[in-house]
Structure 1
Amino acid sequence: MSINTAHAQGGVLIFAGERILLYCDDVEIGFDGGNLPEFKGHKKGRMYLTTHRAIFNARNSNEVLQSFSMPFYCMREIELEQPVFGSNYIKGKIMSEQGGKWQGVVKIKMWFTAGGAIEFGQAMLRAGQLASRYQAQQPPPYTPPQGPVYQAPPPMYTPQYGNYGWVPFGAFPTAPPAEQVYMTESPPPYPGIEPTAPPPPTNGYPPQSSADAKAQEAAGSAYYNPSAPHNVYMPQQQQYGGYGAPPSYSDVVNKKNQ
């Protein structure tokens, strides 16, 4: 998890080779713990689900927390809640990344006031399970995006129906506004749902760095059991960032949608 590293020019900022799968307006996020000004009070904005993480972007340009990046390997105890009264929401714990401008663990709740919490949460859990197959034994320290910022080409944020059949594209707008999606030349510092992310087109846009393959090497040590879709089994990892090993998806629970 990192704060204020995933926004640019009033929009979302993604890595080269990272693809937006879903986005949803009218999302409210709240935090418990963290002891930072950025975590005080509820924030309203937009949620993105990408091939590598979930990203919250604040609606208010004066908000101290402009963006909140949540890589799949930093998520723990994710649950989808469907209360009798009130909006459905997602809750869980997010661990910090080494170099992500904050250290520790914070509890989150995300309310989808216009609907879509369950669909978004199910897709997020599935993406996390897929990404865990390529998780390295020791993720490298997080480095915020570097270099120039470009407006991302459409393939990085338009629906890819044939490639991701498990994504509920029909439940959300087809694509975020093009003028609010930006990209850097930096490759993702952690793995996504594929062994290597597909490179973006080079028509006036930066090519994907060759370092992307190294940043997303598969550990070959985790496996996904289709008969237990909410569990991904990974070996014990070394201490990471002073706060223990990055969590595996073995403790991710979707208690409302088994």
Structure 2
Amino acid sequence: MSINTAHAQGGVLIFAGERILLYCDDVEMGFDGDHQPEFKGNKKGRLYLTTHRVIFNSSSSKEAMQSFSMPFYCMRGIELEQPVFGANYIKGKLVSEQGGKWQGVVKIKMWFTAGGAIEFGQAMLRAGQLASRYQVQQPPPYTPPQGPVYQAPPPMYTPQYDNYNWVPFGAFPTAPPAQQVYMTESPPPYSGIEPTAPPPPMNGHPQGADAKAREAASSAYYSPSAPHNVYMPQQAPNNVYMPQQAPNNVYMPQQFPSGAPPSYSDAVNKKNQ
């Protein structure tokens, strides 16, 4: 995880090839267990679930922590809490990543004052489970985003109904404001929920030897006249199970290969004992 590496020009900053699945306003985030200045006090802002991580962006420009990046493989003991009084929240621990300019373990809580904690948490757990399939035993040292920053193309943040139909898109706003989503040319430094795909064209100019193919794909998979019909040229491998509909009772393993969070159903069962 890293501090102040996932924001730009008042919005969120994602890697090339990373997609935003959900975003939620009116989230408050608190930290415990570390004395680093940026962790002091609760923070209010917006939360994003992407194909590679969870990102918190502060709503105040005066906050020392403008953004907080939480890759799935850094999460431990994530649970969803539903108190009788007060807003539902997500809690757990995060461990630092090599090269993330911070060392140790910090406890987190994320309150959803306008609702959505359960839906967001379930999607986050499923994304973490899927990402664990491609996780290497020892991820490379974290490298902050490098190079120019561009406004991200719409397919990087609009709902992908056909490809990610386990995501509860209907429980949240359709997509974050376009002027608040930015992208760097750097690829994600850790695995996501699908095999690594070539990055999209940046600022209208595709990169790499297959630039023409990428440019054709980018012009084909989004239509402004039909924003809810999105063609995704990258498809999941034939041997990867992508459920058509998230079942009511989803089994999530107690540990990912690196010790990932328990499932929502396990957390609820534990809470009701």
Judge same fold: TM > 0.5, yes or no: yes
Q: Which of 222, 229, 234 pairs up with 2:251? A: 229
Q: 1:198 to 1:89 in 2, by over 3 A?
A: farther
The answer as to 2:264 corresponding to 1:256 is: no
CA distance in 1, matches of 2:14, 2:32: 26
CA contact (8 A) 1:25 1:47 kept: yes
The answer as to 2:84 corresponding to 1:84 is: yes
Runs ≥4 residues deviating over 6 A: none
Q: Give 1:202 shift.
A: 5.5
Q: 1:16 to 1:256 in 2, by over 3 A?
A: same
CA contact (8 A) 1:97 1:141 kept: yes
CA distance in 1, matches of 2:118, 2:66: 24
Q: Give the aligned partner of residue 188 of structure 1.
A: 188
Secondary structure (helix, strand or coil) at the match of 2:60 reads coil
Task: Indicate the larger mover: 193-202 or 155-164.
Answer: 193-202
Q: Give 1:33 shift.
A: 1.4
CA distance in 2, matches of 1:44, 1:53: 19
CA contact (8 A) 1:186 1:209 kept: no
> What is the percent sequence identity of the aligned residues?
80
Q: Give the aligned partner of residue 219 of structure 1.
A: none
CA distance in 1, matches of 2:159, 2:65: 28
Where structure 2 has 5 or more consecutive residues not aligned to the other structure, the ranges are 211-246
**Cα offsets for 1:192-238 (capped at 9, x unmatched):** 0001136324661554799xxxxxxxxxxxxxxx9972216655xxx
**Cα offsets for 1:25-54 (capped at 9, x unmatched):** 000000001211100000000000000000
CA contact (8 A) 1:31 1:41 kept: yes
Select the structure of larger CA radius of gyration. Answer: 2
Q: Give 1:139 shift.
A: 0.2
Q: Give the aligned partner of residue 26 of structure 2.
A: 26
CA contact (8 A) 2:32 2:108 kept: yes
**1:45-64 matched pairs, under 5 angstroms:** 45-64=45-64
CA contact (8 A) 1:16 1:208 kept: no
CA distance in 2, matches of 1:79, 1:59: 25
Q: 1:232 to 1:202 in 2, by over 3 A?
A: farther
Letter in 1 for 2:65: L
TM-score by length of 2: 0.80
Where structure 1 has 5 or more consecutive residues not aligned to the other structure, the ranges are 211-225, 236-246
CA contact (8 A) 1:185 1:206 kept: no
Q: 1:177 to 1:87 in 2, by over 3 A?
A: same
**1:203-242 matched pairs, under 5 angstroms:** 204-205=204-205, 207=207, 229-231=251-253
Q: 1:181 to 1:206 in 2, by over 3 A?
A: farther
CA contact (8 A) 1:132 1:232 kept: no
- RMSD over equivalenced CA pairs, Å: 2.2
Letter in 1 for 2:252: H
Q: Give the aligned partner of residue 165 of structure 2.
A: 165
